[in-house]
Amino acid sequence: MRLILLGAPGCGKGTHSAWMVEELGIPQISTGDILRDAVKEGSELGRQARSYMDSGELVPDSVILGLMRGRMAQPDAARGFILDGFPRTIPQAEGLNGALGDAGMKLDRVLQINVARDELIHRLTSRRVCPNCKAVYNLDFKPPKQGDICDACGASVVQRDDDREATVAQRLEVYERQTAPLIDYYIARGLVAVIDGNQGYAHTRAEIETALGREAKR
Ligand code: AMP
């Protein structure tokens, strides 16, 4: 199954990818995680991406498309994948269509997760992440069990630089301007299932399961 999780920063794409990976047996491909690893390693990709990420802007489409073509060609992606944070612009969506078409593949579903703006700001500024295993926490509703220690791997959880309040506003503005147009783009292709992400983890998960269940029976 080839899925896109589409929604603003903080809507729960990473959180819900975690159980979907287990249940569907396909990898999550998060461009944000790949870019953060590249910045940490100090690679050429990281060097190109860093200033855009720090200011809450999008990394250029050409850089992202090169990176994603390589990632989707890895053996673990042959049976499908969950795209988290990609595509983020119409040219990226067109590039994805091209790459899938070349490989004789197609998208199955776009899950569009809706969350109100105030809630997004609240979730992002109280989010903490494990830089080692990528587990996601929230100081309000899902804190680590012991201080700032990751439950899964024992590393210290941190706040992402771009989850600080000033950058969050910019990221939401960039989402509205550059990424939200993808909703109509994929509606026109009959691929969108709208998910209400405002009601908490269990409710959102149930809506995603229903959307995928319907898809599986087709
Ligand atoms: P995320 O973890 O998905 O919120 O991404 C963090 C940052 O990485 C974004 O604010 C962008 O600077 C960059 N980024 C991630 N995915 C993309 C993408 N598909 N296109 C452009 N920039 C991206």
Letter string b/e over residues 70-95, b meaning 16 or more CB atoms within 10 A of that residue's CB: ebbeeeebeeebbbbbbbbbeebbeb
pLDDT bucket at 182, cuts 50 / 70 / 90: very high
Provide the whole-model pTM.
0.93
Q: How far apart are CA 6 and CA 171, in angstroms?
A: 14
Ligand 1 atom nearest to 57, measured from its CA: 12
Ligand 1 atom nearest to 52, measured from its CA: 12
Q: Tell me which of 53, 174, 176 to substitute to probe ligand 1's pocket, judged by most ligand atoms within 8 Å of the beta carbon.
A: 53
Range(s) of the domain holding residue 183? 2-217
Total number of domains constituting the chain: 1
Reported as a single tens digit per residue, the pLDDT across 57-115 is: 999 999 999 999 999 999 999 999 999 999 999 999 999 999 999 989 999 999 999 99
- List the beta bridge partners of residue 76: none
- Phi, psi of 156, deg, nearest 5: -85, 130
- Calculate what percentage of the chain has a pLDDT beyond 90: 94
Residues annotated as catalytic are 13, 88, 127, 160, 171
Reported as a single tens digit per residue, the pLDDT across 164-180 is: 998 999 999 999 999 99
Distance 35 CA to ligand 1 centre (A): 8
The answer on pLDDT for 3 being more than 80 is yes
Ligand 1 atom nearest to 84, measured from its CA: 3
Q: What is the CATH number of the domain that holds 90?
A: 3.40.50.300
Q: How far apart are CA 104 and CA 111, in angstroms?
A: 22
